[in-house]
């Protein structure tokens, strides 16, 4: 009970948009983060029964943008993961690969998917069915073969790799850090080395190149400093 405001807490509460009699078991948190400065600040939340429905979530996002701009912040983009409700919201806003933004009150806002979760999705697709990279096939079997060879070596080329990275048991597929460690430069270099030594077929080079490209891509979109020992992990200018 909240006698001060004459309400019972613990049920769905969508702030400006009202609530319901359903007991809340989820919290949806909104956070702002700086582009030119290193800071981040949670600034709002709602309670829901299950995930927030896309119709409500769309309204909450637009309200959040308005609230931030009213205190002087300049919102440039909205970032989320690939949850089904988030995907439904971006679709309803008219966001696509051709137009990765939406308009609200005459202002353009870009929509970005959280890079670590994108890397996880790529890893999961590679593990499940393989991928086409340009005109070549990228296959999980070469990652497995490299891991088997590497485990037999006294000096491993990818010491962070474990059975969890390769076999992806229950819940392991949900862990972002396992995907990032697998899609790494050390794994790409290890596969290339195995090809050069004749331990893996030449076709495995395409898988090595694919993994290396995504390692560089993740470093570039995860950069936060002017200088880094990794060339793709700092500002290019």
- β-pair partners for 7: 2
Q: Tell me how crowded residue 130 is: count the other CB atoms within 10 A of its CB.
A: 15
CA distance 170 to 183: 20
For residue 11, what pLDDT is reported? 83
Farthest-apart Cα atoms in the chain, separation: 75
CA distance 179 to 176: 5
For residue 52, what pLDDT is reported? 93
For residue 232, what pLDDT is reported? 65
For residue 20, what pLDDT is reported? 83
Q: State the residue for tokens 């809340």.
A: 24
For residue 134, what pLDDT is reported? 78
The 10s digit of each residue's pLDDT in 4-19 is: 666 556 888 888 888 8
Q: How far is CA 15 from CA 11, 28, 45, 107, 174, in A?
A: 12, 12, 8, 24, 31
For residue 84, what pLDDT is reported? 92
For residue 7, what pLDDT is reported? 59
Positions in the chain whose pLDDT score sits under 70? 1-9, 223-237
For residue 80, what pLDDT is reported? 94
Q: Which residues of 207-225 are buried (b: 16+ CB within 10 A; e: fewer)?
A: bbbbbbebbbbbbbeeeee
Decide: 226 and 234 in contact? Cβ < 8 Å: yes
For residue 184, what pLDDT is reported? 95
C-alpha dihedral (178, 180, 182, 188), degrees to nearest 10: -170
For residue 236, what pLDDT is reported? 63
């Amino acid at each position: 009970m909240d006698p001060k405001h004459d309400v019972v807490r613990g049920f769905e509460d969508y702030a400006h948009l009202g609530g319901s009699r359903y007991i809340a078991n989820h919290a949806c948190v909104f956070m702002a983060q700086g582009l030119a400065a290193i800071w981040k600040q949670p600034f709002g939340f709602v309670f829901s029964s299950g995930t927030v429905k896309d119709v409500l979530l769309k309204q909450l996002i637009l309200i959040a943008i308005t609230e931030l701009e009213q205190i002087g912040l300049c919102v440039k983009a909205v970032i989320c993961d690939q949850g089904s409700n988030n995907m439904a919201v971006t679709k309803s806003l008219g966001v696509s690969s051709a137009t990765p933004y939406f308009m609200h009150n005459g202002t353009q806002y870009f929509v970005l998917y959280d890079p670590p979760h994108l890397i996880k999705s790529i890893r999961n697709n590679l593990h499940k069915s393989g991928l086409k990279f340009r005109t070549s096939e990228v296959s999980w079997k070469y990652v497995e073969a490299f891991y088997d060879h590497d485990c037999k070596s006294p000096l491993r080329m990818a010491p962070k790799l474990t059975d969890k990275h390769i076999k992806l048991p229950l819940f392991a597929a949900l862990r972002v850090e396992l995907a990032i460690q697998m899609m790494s430069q050390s794994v790409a270099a290890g596969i290339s080395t195995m090809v050069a030594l004749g331990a893996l077929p030449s076709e495995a080079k395409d898988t090595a190149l694919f993994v290396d490209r995504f390692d560089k891509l993740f470093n570039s979109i995860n950069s936060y400093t002017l200088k880094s020992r990794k060339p793709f992990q700092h500002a290019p200018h």
